[in-house]
């Protein structure tokens, strides 16, 4: 069990994907994402292994739910600054967490 304080320490925010690139240097197929968190955090980068379920066009403009207060993590030659969240299917593929209706970029989960 975690405490309410533990939960409050995890910053979970929504942002809009504004750029998608193939991540050719990754060991497993992945995208490099640029996500806009508005005035709260600005633009942040993330790597996501979601190439089998999502195309560039499906991701561009999509709001995603991310953990924004992890330290940056280097993946090959890329620094991932936020963790894009999702749920694993039985086949191991990740389905992105999303919001039901648009909310301002940078909004924090409460």
pLDDT tens-digit profile of 13-71?
A: 999 999 999 999 999 999 999 999 999 899 999 999 999 999 999 999 999 999 999 99
Using the structure block, give the residue that is written with the tokens 């955090």: 41
pLDDT band, very low/low/confident/very high, at 7 (cuts 50, 70, 90): very high
Residue 27: which H helix or E strand, with range? none
Q: How far apart are the first and last CA of the chain?
A: 19
Domain total of the chain:
1
The whole domain housing 65 covers 4-96
Secondary structure of the chain: what % helix, strand, coil (to 5)?
10, 40, 50
Q: Which pLDDT value is given to residue 29?
A: 94
Residue 110 lies in a domain: no
Question: Average of pLDDT values for 100-110?
Answer: 96
CB distance 36 to 49 below 8 Å: no
* Rounded Cα gap, residues 20 and 91, in angstroms: 24
Residue 67 lies in a domain: yes
Q: Model pTM?
A: 0.95
Residue 102 lies in a domain: no
Q: Which pLDDT value is given to residue 40?
A: 86
Residue 79 lies in a domain: yes
């Amino acid at each position: 069990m975690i405490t309410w304080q533990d939960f409050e320490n995890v910053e979970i925010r929504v942002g809009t994907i504004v750029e998608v690139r193939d991540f050719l240097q990754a060991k497993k197929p992945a995208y490099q994402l640029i996500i806009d968190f508005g005035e709260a955090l600005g633009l942040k980068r993330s790597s996501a292994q979601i190439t089998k379920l999502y195309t560039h066009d499906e991701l561009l403009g999509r709001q995603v739910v991310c953990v924004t207060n992890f330290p940056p993590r280097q993946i090959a030659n890329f620094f991932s600054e936020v963790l894009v969240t999702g749920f694993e299917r039985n086949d191991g593929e990740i389905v992105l967490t999303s919001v039901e209706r648009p909310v301002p970029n940078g909004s924090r989960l409460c």
